[in-house]
Amino acid sequence: MSTPTVPGRELLLKLEGLVVEDGWTVGALVPKQKDQTGGCFSEGYRCRHVSDREGHFKAIDLHEALGQPDLLAALSRLADGAQCEQELLGKCKRMDRVVTMLSYGTIRAVHGTALTIPIPYVIFERANGSIRSIAHARVRPTHEWILRTLHQVATGLMQLHSEGIAHQDLKQSNILEFSEEQGVKIADLGRAVDRARSVWYDARPWPGATAYAPPEVAYGFHQAEFNARRFASDMYLLGSLATALFIGVSLNALLYQELPQQFRPALFGGPYAGTFESVEAHLHDAYDRVMTNVANCISANAPYREQIVAFIRQWCNPDPRLRGHPVTRGERADGGNIYFLERYVSSLPNLARRAANYSRQHSPI
């Protein structure tokens, strides 16, 4: 018989040794890194299946709702978000560039103690870690690695978009590295939006991490159509990732540094309260300077330089209405997804091969 109920979050940190459904045993708690973003309402553990397969165990913390003025509304939001993530992961099982969900369920007792608030959990395939550690290593990653990584990430985004799912929180910590053969995969659909399903955070101006929000969000420029609002912003996040991998700094940090102080939006600590249209010309000027910095970090005679800089420009145009490949935009001008990523996915492997050849030809003997 279970012991009396003990409310509290502390049991969320004591799941090691617990055996859950489908033959999984929870292992050691994975400590959060000091600079880790995301995962505020969950804890991660190693876990192992009876088949000896390793996984990552994500325990979802519903206790945060207890401190909210409207307890029921807070619990409803957390539960809705967790349920949405599970449903989206179910739709993504055949996507080879999106992390796979292996199992999910609910913990109602921990080591004989019944829980007042159950703990939902999701088990994922286990990765080596995020690309953040590679991108921030003392030795900068090669341009070949960057371009291959961008190809795999763009493929993952295209797979999501093809199912009507926008990620909305793409950043280095949400790109996981597996074996060399597997490459990288997109993770964390905790803020993803599905065209076919409503979720509470879809009503927010920006569901993902604020630091990465695209300019249209920062300046309150809202587009009602799903592709224009969601896929265009995912494309901006892809370009921001590319900028961070090449330069080591996120696109927004560079963009607002180049923008005169009086035009910086309140979302990023500035005084500007005008319209997007009134600031757009200044944004484009600042963006041109950022793109010059990106181009300058690639050798002038590198055979992939011109095309990858053009791609990043297309991904991150400050005006979301102008993002995307010009050929795709022309073909789909009368309908369809003008932000379709297929042409980039087709081109990036060739750019990676060019980078590899260039590196070999110019490496010191």
Where exactly are the structural domains of the chain? 9-125, 129-362
Report the C-alpha gap between 41 and 51 in whole angstroms. 29
Q: Are 131 and 149 in contact (CB under 8 A)?
A: yes
Instruction: Please provide residue 52's backbone torsions phi and psi, each rounded to the nearest 5 degrees.
Output: 85, 5
Please classify residue 345 by burial: count the beta carbons closer than 10 Å to its beta carbon, then call 0-12 exposed, 13-18 middle and 19+ buried: buried
> What does the alpha-carbon distance between residue 195 and residue 226 come to, in Å, rounded to a whole number?
7
**9-125 has which fold?**
Phosphorylase Kinase; domain 1 (3.30.200)
Helix (H) or strand (E) holding 12: none
CATH classification number, 129-362, choose in 1.10.510.10, 3.40.50.10150, 3.20.20.70, 1.10.530.10: 1.10.510.10
**What's at 110, amino acid-wise?**
V
9-125 and 129-362 in the same fold: no
Longest CA–CA span in the chain (Å) reads 73
Beta bridge mates, 177: 129, 184
d(CA 69, CA 285): 45
Non-local CB neighbours of 98 within 8 Å, separated by 6+ positions = 92, 156, 159, 160, 185, 186, 187, 189
pTM to 2 decimals? 0.93
Q: Which phi-psi region, left, alpha or beta, contains residue 23 (left: φ > 0; alpha: ψ -120 to 50)?
A: left
Q: Give the other-Cβ count within 10 Å of 187's Cβ.
A: 23
The residues, any chain, with a CB within 8 Å of residue 196's CB and separated by 6 or more, are 164
CB 49 within 8 Å of CB 26: no
Q: What is the residue type of 58?
A: K
Q: How far apart are CA 120 and CA 103, in angstroms?
A: 11
* Residue carrying structure tokens 């081109």: 347
User: Along the 365 residues of the chain, how does pLDDT read in single tens digits?
Assistant: 444 444 457 889 999 999 998 999 999 999 876 544 445 578 999 999 999 999 999 999 888 787 788 888 988 998 899 999 999 999 999 999 999 999 999 999 998 889 888 899 999 999 999 999 888 887 889 999 999 999 999 999 999 999 999 999 999 999 999 988 889 999 999 999 999 999 999 999 999 999 999 999 999 999 999 999 999 999 999 999 999 999 999 899 999 999 999 999 999 999 999 999 999 999 999 999 999 999 999 999 999 999 999 999 999 999 999 999 999 999 998 888 999 999 999 999 999 999 999 999 987 65
Neighbours of 358 (CB within 10 A): 19
